[in-house]
Amino acid sequence: MKAPTQQMMKTQLQGMLLELNLHTMAQVLDDQLSDPLYQEFSKLEFVHRMVEEEYVSRNNVRSSQLLKRAGLWKTQADLAKIDYSIDRKLNRDLLAQLESCDFILDNKNLCILGAAGSGKSFFAKAFGVEACNRLHRTLYSNANTFLNKLYDLHLEDRKKYERKLRYFQRLPVLILDDWLMFSIHDQVRESILLDLIDARYGTATTIICSQVDPDDWCERFSGYTIGNAITSRLVANGFTLVIQSDQDLRQTKYPGEL
Protein backbone atom coordinates (compact mmCIF):
# COMPACT_ATOMS: atom_id res chain seq x y z
CA MET A 1 0.00 0.00 0.00
CA LYS A 2 1.38 3.34 -1.03
CA ALA A 3 2.19 5.62 1.88
CA PRO A 4 0.27 8.91 1.93
CA THR A 5 2.20 11.93 0.76
CA GLN A 6 2.72 14.97 2.95
CA GLN A 7 0.18 16.90 0.88
CA MET A 8 -2.39 14.12 1.37
CA MET A 9 -1.79 14.08 5.13
CA LYS A 10 -2.03 17.85 5.27
CA THR A 11 -5.35 17.83 3.36
CA GLN A 12 -6.75 15.06 5.58
CA LEU A 13 -5.61 16.80 8.76
CA GLN A 14 -7.07 20.13 7.69
CA GLY A 15 -10.33 18.40 6.87
CA MET A 16 -10.47 16.81 10.33
CA LEU A 17 -9.64 20.13 12.01
CA LEU A 18 -12.40 21.90 10.07
CA GLU A 19 -14.86 19.15 10.95
CA LEU A 20 -13.98 19.70 14.60
CA ASN A 21 -14.57 23.46 14.13
CA LEU A 22 -10.90 24.16 14.74
CA HIS A 23 -10.75 26.63 11.86
CA THR A 24 -7.87 28.70 13.20
CA MET A 25 -5.72 25.62 13.73
CA ALA A 26 -6.45 24.51 10.16
CA GLN A 27 -5.29 27.90 8.85
CA VAL A 28 -2.20 27.95 11.08
CA LEU A 29 -1.31 24.44 9.91
CA ASP A 30 -1.33 25.68 6.33
CA ASP A 31 0.70 28.77 7.27
CA GLN A 32 3.28 26.78 9.19
CA LEU A 33 3.79 24.19 6.48
CA SER A 34 4.22 27.06 3.99
CA ASP A 35 6.91 28.62 6.18
CA PRO A 36 10.37 27.64 4.88
CA LEU A 37 11.56 27.50 8.50
CA TYR A 38 8.92 25.06 9.70
CA GLN A 39 11.33 22.12 9.54
CA GLU A 40 13.38 23.83 12.23
CA PHE A 41 10.41 23.75 14.63
CA SER A 42 10.40 21.00 17.21
CA LYS A 43 7.32 18.79 17.23
CA LEU A 44 6.18 20.38 20.48
CA GLU A 45 6.71 23.91 19.14
CA PHE A 46 4.79 23.04 15.98
CA VAL A 47 1.78 21.81 17.97
CA HIS A 48 2.08 24.65 20.49
CA ARG A 49 1.82 27.29 17.75
CA MET A 50 -1.34 25.77 16.33
CA VAL A 51 -3.07 25.29 19.67
CA GLU A 52 -2.03 28.75 20.92
CA GLU A 53 -3.53 30.48 17.88
CA GLU A 54 -6.78 28.54 18.25
CA TYR A 55 -6.88 29.34 21.97
CA VAL A 56 -6.31 33.08 21.41
CA SER A 57 -8.87 33.19 18.61
CA ARG A 58 -11.57 31.51 20.68
CA ASN A 59 -10.85 33.72 23.67
CA ASN A 60 -11.15 36.81 21.47
CA VAL A 61 -14.55 35.63 20.25
CA ARG A 62 -15.64 34.86 23.80
CA SER A 63 -14.37 38.25 25.00
CA SER A 64 -16.33 40.04 22.26
CA GLN A 65 -19.49 38.17 23.27
CA LEU A 66 -18.97 39.08 26.92
CA LEU A 67 -18.40 42.75 26.06
CA LYS A 68 -21.68 42.85 24.14
CA ARG A 69 -23.63 41.19 26.95
CA ALA A 70 -22.00 43.52 29.46
CA GLY A 71 -23.14 46.59 27.52
CA LEU A 72 -19.53 47.60 26.88
CA TRP A 73 -18.97 46.67 23.23
CA LYS A 74 -19.05 50.30 22.06
CA THR A 75 -16.88 51.82 24.76
CA GLN A 76 -13.36 53.09 24.09
CA ALA A 77 -12.47 52.87 27.79
CA ASP A 78 -9.22 51.01 28.34
CA LEU A 79 -6.94 50.78 31.36
CA ALA A 80 -4.01 51.33 29.00
CA LYS A 81 -5.44 54.76 28.12
CA ILE A 82 -5.35 56.16 31.65
CA ASP A 83 -3.87 59.66 31.44
CA TYR A 84 -1.65 60.28 34.44
CA SER A 85 -0.71 63.73 33.18
CA ILE A 86 -4.05 65.08 34.42
CA ASP A 87 -3.88 66.19 38.04
CA ARG A 88 -6.34 63.71 39.54
CA LYS A 89 -4.07 62.57 42.38
CA LEU A 90 -4.46 58.96 41.28
CA ASN A 91 -3.07 56.26 43.54
CA ARG A 92 -0.73 54.57 41.08
CA ASP A 93 0.17 51.74 43.43
CA LEU A 94 -3.50 50.89 43.93
CA LEU A 95 -4.21 51.11 40.20
CA ALA A 96 -1.28 48.82 39.44
CA GLN A 97 -2.72 46.35 41.90
CA LEU A 98 -6.24 46.60 40.47
CA GLU A 99 -5.18 46.36 36.80
CA SER A 100 -4.31 42.69 37.29
CA CYS A 101 -8.00 42.07 38.14
CA ASP A 102 -6.90 39.78 40.96
CA PHE A 103 -9.50 41.53 43.11
CA ILE A 104 -12.14 39.91 40.88
CA LEU A 105 -10.62 36.47 41.43
CA ASP A 106 -10.68 37.22 45.17
CA ASN A 107 -14.35 38.37 45.02
CA LYS A 108 -13.45 41.82 46.32
CA ASN A 109 -15.45 44.97 45.61
CA LEU A 110 -14.29 48.29 44.21
CA CYS A 111 -15.76 51.72 44.96
CA ILE A 112 -14.79 54.47 42.53
CA LEU A 113 -15.47 57.91 43.98
CA GLY A 114 -15.25 61.38 42.46
CA ALA A 115 -17.13 64.45 41.33
CA ALA A 116 -19.12 64.62 38.10
CA GLY A 117 -16.80 64.64 35.10
CA SER A 118 -13.76 63.36 37.01
CA GLY A 119 -13.56 60.12 35.03
CA LYS A 120 -15.35 57.60 37.28
CA SER A 121 -17.34 56.00 34.48
CA PHE A 122 -14.25 55.73 32.28
CA PHE A 123 -12.46 53.78 35.00
CA ALA A 124 -15.49 51.59 35.72
CA LYS A 125 -15.94 50.75 32.03
CA ALA A 126 -12.21 50.13 31.64
CA PHE A 127 -12.26 47.64 34.50
CA GLY A 128 -15.34 46.06 32.94
CA VAL A 129 -13.57 45.72 29.59
CA GLU A 130 -10.55 44.17 31.28
CA ALA A 131 -12.82 41.75 33.15
CA CYS A 132 -14.43 40.67 29.87
CA ASN A 133 -11.02 40.27 28.24
CA ARG A 134 -10.14 37.96 31.11
CA LEU A 135 -13.40 36.07 30.43
CA HIS A 136 -15.36 37.14 33.51
CA ARG A 137 -19.10 37.54 32.92
CA THR A 138 -19.86 41.20 33.51
CA LEU A 139 -22.71 43.73 33.44
CA TYR A 140 -22.40 47.52 33.36
CA SER A 141 -25.52 49.53 34.21
CA ASN A 142 -26.77 52.79 35.64
CA ALA A 143 -27.62 51.93 39.25
CA ASN A 144 -31.03 53.62 39.26
CA THR A 145 -32.07 52.00 35.97
CA PHE A 146 -30.88 48.60 37.18
CA LEU A 147 -32.84 48.84 40.44
CA ASN A 148 -35.99 50.14 38.74
CA LYS A 149 -36.00 47.20 36.33
CA LEU A 150 -35.74 44.72 39.18
CA TYR A 151 -38.43 46.60 41.09
CA ASP A 152 -40.84 46.53 38.14
CA LEU A 153 -40.17 42.82 37.63
CA HIS A 154 -40.81 42.24 41.33
CA LEU A 155 -44.29 43.76 40.91
CA GLU A 156 -45.12 42.11 37.59
CA ASP A 157 -43.75 38.56 37.77
CA ARG A 158 -42.34 37.25 41.06
CA LYS A 159 -41.02 33.99 39.60
CA LYS A 160 -39.19 35.77 36.80
CA TYR A 161 -37.92 38.33 39.31
CA GLU A 162 -36.52 35.62 41.57
CA ARG A 163 -34.74 33.96 38.63
CA LYS A 164 -33.29 37.31 37.55
CA LEU A 165 -32.22 38.16 41.08
CA ARG A 166 -30.44 34.81 41.45
CA TYR A 167 -28.66 35.45 38.16
CA PHE A 168 -27.41 38.85 39.32
CA GLN A 169 -26.48 37.46 42.73
CA ARG A 170 -24.10 35.02 41.03
CA LEU A 171 -22.83 37.28 38.23
CA PRO A 172 -19.02 37.50 38.65
CA VAL A 173 -18.77 41.26 37.97
CA LEU A 174 -21.59 43.78 38.42
CA ILE A 175 -20.84 47.46 37.74
CA LEU A 176 -23.35 50.03 39.04
CA ASP A 177 -22.71 53.60 37.88
CA ASP A 178 -24.15 56.79 39.45
CA TRP A 179 -24.73 54.92 42.70
CA LEU A 180 -27.16 56.73 45.04
CA MET A 181 -27.54 59.74 42.80
CA PHE A 182 -31.11 59.64 44.10
CA SER A 183 -32.22 58.69 47.61
CA ILE A 184 -33.96 55.36 48.06
CA HIS A 185 -36.76 55.71 50.58
CA ASP A 186 -38.74 52.69 49.50
CA GLN A 187 -38.70 49.48 51.56
CA VAL A 188 -39.22 47.19 48.56
CA ARG A 189 -36.33 48.70 46.62
CA GLU A 190 -34.14 48.63 49.72
CA SER A 191 -35.02 44.99 50.31
CA ILE A 192 -34.13 44.13 46.71
CA LEU A 193 -30.76 45.85 47.05
CA LEU A 194 -29.99 44.15 50.36
CA ASP A 195 -30.89 40.71 48.98
CA LEU A 196 -28.63 41.37 46.00
CA ILE A 197 -25.63 42.86 47.82
CA ASP A 198 -25.78 40.44 50.72
CA ALA A 199 -25.73 37.40 48.41
CA ARG A 200 -22.80 38.83 46.43
CA TYR A 201 -20.74 39.62 49.53
CA GLY A 202 -17.55 37.56 49.37
CA THR A 203 -18.77 35.52 46.38
CA ALA A 204 -18.67 38.03 43.50
CA THR A 205 -17.30 41.48 42.64
CA THR A 206 -19.41 44.64 42.70
CA ILE A 207 -17.93 47.84 41.27
CA ILE A 208 -19.64 51.03 42.44
CA CYS A 209 -19.27 54.52 40.90
CA SER A 210 -20.55 57.37 43.03
CA GLN A 211 -20.32 61.09 43.59
CA VAL A 212 -21.48 60.49 47.16
CA ASP A 213 -18.95 59.69 49.88
CA PRO A 214 -19.66 56.30 51.54
CA ASP A 215 -19.91 58.09 54.89
CA ASP A 216 -23.07 59.72 53.54
CA TRP A 217 -24.63 56.67 51.91
CA CYS A 218 -26.76 55.76 54.92
CA GLU A 219 -28.55 59.10 54.66
CA ARG A 220 -29.83 58.08 51.20
CA PHE A 221 -31.88 55.22 52.66
CA SER A 222 -35.05 55.25 54.75
CA GLY A 223 -33.19 54.24 57.89
CA TYR A 224 -29.68 53.84 59.25
CA THR A 225 -29.96 50.10 59.78
CA ILE A 226 -30.76 49.18 56.19
CA GLY A 227 -28.35 51.80 54.85
CA ASN A 228 -25.52 50.54 57.03
CA ALA A 229 -26.20 46.91 56.11
CA ILE A 230 -25.88 47.67 52.38
CA THR A 231 -22.98 50.12 52.75
CA SER A 232 -20.88 47.86 54.97
CA ARG A 233 -21.19 44.93 52.55
CA LEU A 234 -20.00 47.08 49.66
CA VAL A 235 -17.22 49.04 51.34
CA ALA A 236 -15.75 46.65 53.91
CA ASN A 237 -14.88 43.94 51.41
CA GLY A 238 -12.66 45.64 48.88
CA PHE A 239 -10.90 48.73 47.60
CA THR A 240 -11.68 52.42 47.18
CA LEU A 241 -10.34 54.45 44.27
CA VAL A 242 -10.72 58.22 44.69
CA ILE A 243 -10.49 60.38 41.55
CA GLN A 244 -10.00 64.12 41.82
CA SER A 245 -10.18 66.70 39.05
CA ASP A 246 -10.57 70.45 38.78
CA GLN A 247 -12.00 70.17 35.27
CA ASP A 248 -14.85 68.35 33.60
CA LEU A 249 -13.07 65.72 31.51
CA ARG A 250 -16.23 64.98 29.53
CA GLN A 251 -15.38 68.04 27.46
CA THR A 252 -11.72 67.14 26.99
CA LYS A 253 -10.08 63.76 27.37
CA TYR A 254 -12.91 61.25 27.48
CA PRO A 255 -16.03 62.66 25.81
CA GLY A 256 -18.99 60.33 26.23
CA GLU A 257 -17.06 57.98 28.52
CA LEU A 258 -17.66 59.57 31.89
Nearest to 192, CA basis, from 141, 140, 237, 148: 148
Helix (H) or strand (E) holding 110: strand 109-114
CB atoms within 10 A of CB 227: 20
Task: Report pLDDT digits (tens) over 199-235.
Answer: 999 999 999 999 999 999 999 999 999 999 999 999 9
**Of 95, 212, 192, nearest to 150 (Cα)?**
192
Residue type, 212: V
The pTM of the full predicted model, rounded to 2 decimals, is 0.79
User: pLDDT digit string (tens) for 132-181?
Assistant: 999 999 999 999 999 999 999 999 999 999 999 999 999 999 999 999 99
Catalogue all structural domains in the chain, each as residue range(s) with its CATH number.
6-70 (no CATH), 79-251 (3.40.50.300)
Task: Compute the mean pLDDT over every residue in the chain, rounded to the nearest whole number.
Answer: 87
Alpha-helix residue ranges (DSSP H) falling in the chain:
6-19, 23-34, 43-70, 92-99, 102-105, 120-133, 143-156, 158-170, 187-200, 224-235
Query: How confident is the model at residue 251, as a pLDDT?
Result: 46
Q: How far is CA 48 from CA 17, 24, 43, 51, 62, in A?
A: 15, 13, 9, 5, 21
